[in-house]
Amino acid sequence: MATHYELRYATHPGDAVAYDTQRLRKEYLVDNIMESNEVRMVYSFYDRFIVGGAVPINQDLLLETIDPLKADYFLERRELGIINVGGPGIIRADGTEYELGYKDALYVGKGIKEVLFISKDTAKPAHFYFNSANAHKSYPVKRITLADAEVVKLGSLETSNERQINKLLVNSVVDTCQLQMGMTELQTGSVWNTMPAHVHSRRMEAYFYFEVPEGQAVCHFLGEPEETRHIWLQNEQAVISPPWSIHAAAGTSNYIFIWGMAGENLDYGDMDIAEPTELK
């Protein structure tokens, strides 16, 4: 069987403060997301958001529906965002092929019945990272490259957070129902992302960390601003961030991460800031 999934239930912040390391990782860490010749995903009850990965090598991989969806096909009531973080690949959506190079993205709208993940080179397979959210309307499939992205540069080397935010699947670039995705690249010498930290209770978020050098790691911070916790992550692992939680991280090296969001609105700037001096 090429498709594997698990469920993650929503948790109350008052419960999360009592979690030990093992429980925090069980609830929020998404590991083993990129496995050869498999489609793996986590279905979260935070906004019914799905985090997944597909690594086709010597076979094409079908995005199959899973039992929690109670749907005839995966995108019957959903939309999908895909970003390739590996070798050159192809997404075939209802027979139409879209080539995705490294860091290219694809939006696939509600109603597409068949999605296939394909690698062009078995020696350098594609690593497709994807997010999916509920959708109320069908929008066209659209390929987005970094050249198409809305780019914002923030931070500075002096504060160890010089970074470039590439907004890929946002409403200023492509029509979506509620899904938003983008990629933040930290510059050499910078390790902090999303600082000052913030909370947006109108939307949940998931982070996927990649280009973490061998032997290095990323520490992801979560929890309410006055009661924070952390999870250590390795390359090509993701973490689910509840709407009541901050989301910030610092690595032992610079790295890249993909953020994906879903919820009540599409306002990227809708956030409640928690200054560094306010965090506990």
The string of pLDDT tens digits covering residues 170-208 is 999 999 999 999 999 999 999 998 888 888 878 899 999
Residue 271 has pLDDT above 80, yes or no: no
Spatial contact of 73 and 3, defined as CB atoms under 8 Å apart: no
**What is the band of 48 on the pLDDT scale with cuts at 50, 70, 90?**
very high
Dist CA 172 CA 135 (whole Å): 18
Over the stretch 25-36, which tens digit does the pLDDT of each residue have? 999 999 999 999
Q: Which amino acid is at 151?
A: V
**What pLDDT is attached to residue 1?**
62
Residue 272 has pLDDT above 90, yes or no: no
User: What number is the average pLDDT over the span 13-17?
Assistant: 93
Q: Which residue has the higher pLDDT, 236 or 159?
A: 236
**Among candidates 64, 59, 69, which has minimal Cα distance to 37?**
59
**What pLDDT is attached to residue 195?**
82
Number of alpha carbons in the 13 Å side-chain half-sphere of residue 91: 28
Residue 159 has pLDDT above 90, yes or no: no
Dist CA 194 CA 272 (whole Å): 12
Dist CA 126 CA 45 (whole Å): 28
Dist CA 250 CA 161 (whole Å): 9
**What pLDDT is attached to residue 273?**
81
Dist CA 30 CA 16 (whole Å): 17
Work out the percent of the chain whose per-residue pLDDT is above 70.
Answer: 100
Residue 269 has pLDDT above 80, yes or no: no
Instruction: Give all domains of the chain, ordered by start, each with its CATH number.
Output: 3-278 (2.60.120.10)
Query: Encoding tokens for residue 218?
Result: 């990323």
Residue 21 has pLDDT above 90, yes or no: yes
Mean pLDDT, rounded, of the chain: 95
User: What number is the average pLDDT over the span 27-53?
Assistant: 97
Sequence-separated contacts (24+) of 37-41 with Cβ below 8 Å: 37/2, 37/61, 38/2, 38/3, 38/4, 39/2, 39/3, 39/4, 39/63, 39/64, 39/117, 40/3, 40/4, 40/5, 41/3, 41/4, 41/5, 41/66, 41/130
**What pLDDT is attached to residue 121?**
95
Cα angle 169, 170, 171 (rounded to 5 degrees) comes to: 130
Cα angle 40, 42, 46 (rounded to 5 degrees) comes to: 160
